[in-house]
Amino acid sequence: MSKLAGKVALVTGASKGIGASIAEHLAAEGASVVVNYASSKSGADSVVARITKKGGKAIAVQGDVSQPKDIQRLFSETRKANGKVDILVNNAGMYEFAPLDAITPEHIQKHFNLNVAGLLLTTKEAIKLIGPEGGSIINIGSIVGPMPAPQASTYSASKAAVDAITVSLSQELGPRRSV
């Protein structure tokens, strides 16, 4: 029996890179996986194909998690397909390094809308589908949160916020078994 048989995992930003690998590993352990993507449908479809080729279960669902309406649709589609969520992996994120003189309000907003607000709002929706037996929420941070690099001030700040959110939510949700 696989460790995650009967579990449903939603992985944001799962059409490539770390997110794709996480989705494939969760499926290999028996989870049904929701492969979220913002723009790369072909990438998400490829991840789903690799999972199903190995006998796993997966669907691709489009949704830009920096957009609240997309988050609601993502969870509506997840509910329709699976009825619940047991594991949320907040992997979607963006980074654009820039020197201070090139940073604009738009640069800051893009980072914080996806890396911080998207993570919080996605978690808020996931909690509604996590049953009384509890679940797991995994937030993907970065070493540049606690150890900022040159020209990464905005990205580092957003990933430091992810670290703070993770600690705060573990204290808030842990007693409810939703961490």
Residue 179 in this model has a pLDDT that exceeds 60? no
- The CA distance from 177 to 134, in Å, is 4
Mean pLDDT throughout 49-66? Answer: 98
- Whether the per-residue pLDDT at 114 is higher than 90: the answer is yes
Q: Which residues contact 155 (CB under 8 A, 6 or more apart)?
A: 95, 96, 97, 111, 115, 142, 144
Query: Which entry of 22, 65, 130, 155 is annotated as an active-site residue?
Result: 155
**Average pLDDT value for residue range 92-120:** 97
* CA–CA distances in Å: residue 153 to residues 39, 119, 147, 164: 26, 19, 10, 16
Give the helix ranges, DSSP H, for 54-175.
68-82, 105-112, 119-129, 153-173
Assess whether pLDDT exceeds 90 at residue 124. yes
The pLDDT confidence band at residue 176, using thresholds 50, 70 and 90, is: confident
How large is the angle between the packed helices 119-129 and 153-173, nearest 10 degrees? Answer: 20
**Average pLDDT over every residue of 87-103:** 96
Q: Inform me whether the pLDDT recorded for 53 exceeds 80.
A: yes
| Domain residue ranges of the chain, discontinuous segments joined by + | 8-176
pLDDT value at 128 more than 90: yes
CB atoms within 10 A of CB 30: 17
Work out the mean pLDDT of the chain and round it to a whole number: 95
Tokens of 115: 């890396």
C-beta atoms surrounding 163 within 10 Å: 14
What is the mean predicted confidence (pLDDT) over 63-82? 98
Over residues 72-77, mean pLDDT: 98
What number is the average pLDDT over the span 3-21? 97
Q: Which residue has the tokens 């309000």?
A: 105
Going from the C-alpha of 164 to that of each of 90, 115, 152, the distances in angstroms are 14, 12, 18
Active site residue 155: yes
CATH architecture of the domain 8-176 equals 3-Layer(aba) Sandwich (3.40)
Measure the CA–CA gap between 76 and 48, rounded to whole angstroms: 19
> What is the model's pLDDT at position 174?
87
Q: Work out the percent of the chain whose per-residue pLDDT is above 90.
A: 93
Q: Residue 156 contacts by C-beta under 8 Å, 6 or more apart in sequence?
A: 142, 144, 145, 148, 149
d(CA 33, CA 82) in angstroms, rounded, equals 9
Which pLDDT score is estimated for 1?
Answer: 57
**pTM for the predicted model, two decimal places:** 0.95
